[in-house]
Structure formats: structure tokens, C-alpha cells
Structure 1
Amino acid sequence: MTLQAKLDAFKADFEAGKPPYSVPPEVIATMRRATAELIASGAAARALKAGDKAPAFTLNDPDGTPISSVQLLEKGPLVVSFYRGVWCPYCNMELQALEAALPQFAELGASLVAISPQTAPNSRKSVRQNELSFPILSDTRNDVAAAFGLRFELPDYLVDLYMSLKNDLPVFNGDPSWTLPMPARFVIGQDGTILYAEVNPDYTLRPEPEDMLPALRKASAIAA
């Protein structure tokens, strides 16, 4: 089953309120409204695209070890996945799919990192819960996400909903701002050029890991 098929199946069960989910219709309506407004804002069109230069970044893994994109790119192309946090089931399914595809990336000489605004303990939870073997990095205040054009502020009505669901992002992220990155995936060549970019303001839609393989093959050919 493809990643998107799994996401669609989860979404259908969640919105239908099938056990173990029991979500009032008004909650679903609020989530749909927020997604529709983010799509309509055109924010995704302003994010970095293929052909742009990727900003360099250094972020800490859950153990506090700094991971540098510049150093990773010295070894080969880099896959970067931005996700919302361990509290997001869609993100967890995506991370699991990326883990499964990791051998294909490695065959092409590529490294993989995933970036979210959450604190180190929550990143450790991401690693443990999803059985990950690639670095999970903490992007405090979504500053790196902003450099890629991904950061957005949640509307007040969505903040109220998240709080009612005990999804307290300032606690999850150690940051008082209510911001998140739009889920996104990038392939960056060794010269820093973005070779593949997929940004989606609808958090229930994610590209397949295999979608990046042509860009990674191109990057490998350039390096050779």
C-alpha cells in the first residue's frame, strides 16, 4: 500500500469516527476550514522550489548533537523532510515510510533528515515510536522552516481547538508562538541547489518517498 493510500484510509476512519476515534463533526469542520484557508492563502506557492538555493542550517538532534546540512552535503545529496510533530499521525506514517525507503536513498549516496519544531524529548519519542534510524532535528521557533518558506501561524480559532484537544503546541515545542511548518520534502544537490520540492498546505497529503528517486539519481550522476 502506498503512503498516500494509508493516509487516506486513516483520514476516512478518523473523520467517520470509527473506533478508537470519536471526533465531533464540528471539530472536523474546523480542521477542514483551517486547511482550506491555508491553501487559499497561497503560502505554498511562496515556498522554495526546485532550482532555488537551499539555506544552510545546523540543528540539534535529540541528544543535543549539532547536525550541519553543509557537512551532510559534502558526503552526497540530502533529503529533508519537514513535519509537524509526533502528535500528528499523518507525520508519523510519513516518517515510517521514509525509514522504509532509507536503503534506496543510501544506495544513491543520499542522507536523510527530518525537521520539526518540537523539543528534544518529543523528537526522541518520534524516533522511538516510529523506529527511526535517521536524524530527527529540532527547529526551534520554526526558523529553518521559515527560511524555506514553510512557517505559518495558526488562526485563533484553530488555537482554541488545539487547546480544547490538549494539543498545546507551546508545550510540545518549547516556544510560545503558535506556528507550524507546512509539511514539505526537498532533495538538495551537493551544490546547494534544490532538485525536488513538494510543499502541501493540506497536511493529509504527502508525496511518496519514491517520488524523490529521479532527483536523487540526477544528483548522483552530477556528483559522478
Structure 2
Amino acid sequence: MRKYLLIAGCVLLTLNLFAQIGLKSGDIAPKFTAVDNMGKTLSLKSLLKSHKAVVLFFYRGQWCPYCNKQIKELQDSLQLLTGKGAYVVGVTPETSENINKTIDKTHASFSIIQDKGYTIMKAYQVNYTVDAELLGKLKNYGVDLEKNNGNTDHVLPVPATYVIDQSGKITYVHFDKDYTKRASVKSIMAAL
């Protein structure tokens, strides 16, 4: 009986990821306030007062090569993005120690927020709980989510990107459950 309950639970968790749709272009972006990796308090409301747009993206962790590639591309294009008045913010469930590893790998100089309680991830509807099968695969690759995120929740974000304009409206969305597909800098630039 326990075995069947575990299997049913894994199926429901997997279906939870596939049922997710995230926020849409035209939606009002949920407000948030958080402290970034540099100890700076960021609020979406304040950022939108001082910038034309906010590029908000969610990534899984320093262990993810696709996340690191996206962060490097954003860093390499940061002057272009800020030149258009954008403020770039990354959101992750990983610990501050692992955020520092991400920065070491990618040389990211923009704000990165550790979303401990998944408040921002939940508001933007990108959070999901990793099922047992994926958790096992990650462990086989040497990824320890519990150590990386500092908890036993096994929650990750769909790697999504949102561009939010000064009115607080989402003007661009990249939400793809395929973690290998990310928003291109070209698409983000076109939305600014």
C-alpha cells in the first residue's frame, strides 16, 4: 500500500509541474521585497521607480550548466540591458554560499536573491517540487538539492524570465518547462 501511495505522490508531483503555466504577458507583476547577494534591499516598486524595466529571471542553482550559461549571457550583455534602462535580478532557492559559487562561475555582477521560503517563486508561479525520480537522477549526477538549497523541500523553479515595465505590467514572458530552453538576450532586448 505504501508503495502505491509513493507512486501516486510522484505522479501528482510530476503532473503539478506539467500543469504549471506561470504568469502571462499583460499580467500585473507581483510585488516583492528581498535582500540580494550584496545585502541590498530590493523592492520591485522601488526598482520600477528608478528604472524603465526589471528583467526578473529564475534559475535552479550553481550546479545547472544551462543556468550558468544563461547567467553568463546576461552578464555579457548587461551593459546593453542597463543601457535600455533595465535592472536585472536573478532569483534562486540556493543558499548564499552557492550563490557565491554561481557568481564565481559566471562573474555575475547583477542582483541575485535567495528565495528561502519560495515567496517570489510562488508569486510568479514558477515553483515545483522535484519528484523522486528526478531527485534520484540529480543525486546520480552529484547534485545534492538539500545541501544546495539548505533544506529538505526539493523545490526548484521553472527557469522563467519576465520583463516588467514601469507600470508594473509584465511585457515579456519566457516560461518553458524544458530547463534547457532559456530566454535569449535578443528577445529580452526586443521587449525593453
Superposition TM-score tier, normalisation by shorter sequence:
0.7 to 0.9
Over 3 Å counting, the alpha-carbon distance change for 1:89 and 1:79 in structure 2 is same
Q: Unmatched 5+ residue regions in structure 2?
A: 1-10
Q: What pairs up with 1:1-224 in 2 under 5 angstroms?
A: 41-43=18-20, 46-76=21-51, 77-216=53-192
Report the TM-score when normalising by structure 2.
0.86
- Counting matched residue pairs gives 179
In 2, the alpha carbon distance for the partners of 1:108 and 1:70 equals 18
**One-letter identity of the residue aligned with 2:47:** L
Provide Cα deviations, 1:114-156, integer angstroms capped at 9, x if missing partner.
1111111111111122111111111113221111110111111
Aligned partner of residue 146 in structure 2, secondary structure: helix
Report the TM-score when normalising by structure 1.
0.75
Structure having the larger proportion of residues in helix: 1
Provide Cα deviations, 1:64-121, integer angstroms capped at 9, x if missing partner.
3322222111112100111101110110000000011111111111111111111111
**One-letter identity of the residue aligned with 1:41:** F
RMSD: 1.9
* TM-superposed deviation, 1:40: 8.1
Q: Unmatched 5+ residue regions in structure 1?
A: 1-33, 217-224
**One-letter identity of the residue aligned with 2:80:** Q
* Off by >4 Å, runs of 4+ in structure 1: 37-40
In 2, the alpha carbon distance for the partners of 1:40 and 1:154 equals 9
In 2, the alpha carbon distance for the partners of 1:158 and 1:208 equals 26
